[in-house]
Structure 1
């Protein structure tokens, strides 16, 4: 948990100047900020207004996923709409039933927008403004309609071990399985059951509520833009540019974040085959932070006693597009050496083309059997399988989105 909180602090400290939290705390709006690059897509900032509205303390929400505010009456179709917006990295405005800490229901106008890195087009955060709604009854039970923004988201022991504490609804709720698409009829059946078990009457967002949400979002982005300028890492509200082909979608990053083992993803189509994703376990193993790893070739882990013949073997396997497993001496950030049982494998997208290479690291000498009794070899193959599923699912979704907009 401490390492997770460290990543959350870094999420803000590495992007903005040190006074950004104080500036955000001065805003009276109800909002949270989340980071899709951290495992579990957690909340990294919550405003005073939001905490007062929800009844939670800051310590109770930082590091948690926004689903903690949902309950039995929350519209599942609305949740799917929000996840589609996250997957497609676009804004959404929708009426939603959430719950306070004391269990009381709260209708809100939920307005979410991605925060883009100006220079490479990556999504660094999502901002979610929440405007409480007055209790005006409507005819329909669950409001999944978009309210002003054009919208659309994101059994073996080996799988269980790799995904670790993967979100329960992803593991057990078929609504949320990667690549699983429900028909409107299926979703409507789920919604009918929710309405039957919950007598809470829905609320309608007024034009005043919508303007309030937009004004709040303007205020937040004004602060984020100003303090990112001071840090030299400018963010913007719309994707300004994509400097290279190594951009990973937020949905793919979130899917990869569920894999609890040490691994990196590299892009063979970019110069020097840089790392485009590094797992939390890899960062813990090597002692580096994410910004010190991304966009670098994996050779930075080598040192004075690393066997050059092993490096040649790795290069040959990559050139021939074949998997390989080696034992290599690597070095942590503090220069301490460790023997790395390394497996490298090509990862193909839904069209069959190689999109990435994955490198899975297992430190020799540690207890590598895992709580499910898996050998290092099976752990590595399980990670490769999980990465393949995530990449293919992401590429299929991207292809589907392009065909729908064509």
Structure 2
């Protein structure tokens, strides 16, 4: 146990200056930071806001896995989606039912992001922001009056408003008894029925993540061991040459270029149409593996088919359920193909995406397959021309 505590200390001390914990504690947000490199993926930092919200002390949380906040009614599928995001080293934002130390359940928006090392692109930490979800009051009628119930602002208690019009003490007793039953049932429904975060709560989570990353980035600069929020600084990964960028920019369809020679086969180019289709910004995409578009209902057999085509260096076409940044899903008519340079070696893989709901909306009347093939052809010409120009300049 002493060995693990020492590793937890080093998890922060090696990467950041000694003042980082104090700076993080000044943030008002509820969040934890975990280290996937330590056995058990333990929590290495918990904010004051999180400790207050959960009822735990810092000593009770540090060194523990985040599963201690789960309970009997926590959705297992939600837990699996979080685990999958950790395995794939990607961001996830999801609603989850967690439990405080006293056993009381509460719904929260969980927003988790990996923290990458700028030195080698490895994931060194995960930041998990928790935003309590405000539960809207329910209106229940008893026939004797009105009963409004709403969750308190601190998320821990109930505030009730009862208006009873009756001249009978007996009738009043019946009303209060019925209210008690309804209140009890209402609390059960609040737990059993999934709660969704509002847009405001989602924005709060994103703002919190940005504030945390600002602190981590600053205090990693002090030590010279910089961190960042995306894997766009992998060793050996440089920007595409300007001529290739210009050529690819002329292609108006949705597509990405990935580099199979880099770890995890990251995206090195994303078209403007791809960014519009998925809702992501370019800096959120570059350096990521394409699997970040997958989600809980994405078919694993389809993913396996894609991996198999990459391993065998063969093109393939699939229909896959993908997810945009705003979590909305769409059926992606996807075509993947290897792209060879002038010497005949595979330089990249290109993936062309067509939203199935819009696949017949082409002004030139081309079928989805022909549109994909035209993109593949244009990308191949651009890559070969670029590699020929590079070879000529070297000679």
Query: Normalised by the size of structure 2, how large is the TM-score?
Result: 0.47
* Higher Rg: 2
Higher relative contact order structure (alpha carbons within 8 Å, sequence separation ≥ 6) = 1
Instruction: Normalising by structure 1, report the TM-score.
Output: 0.46
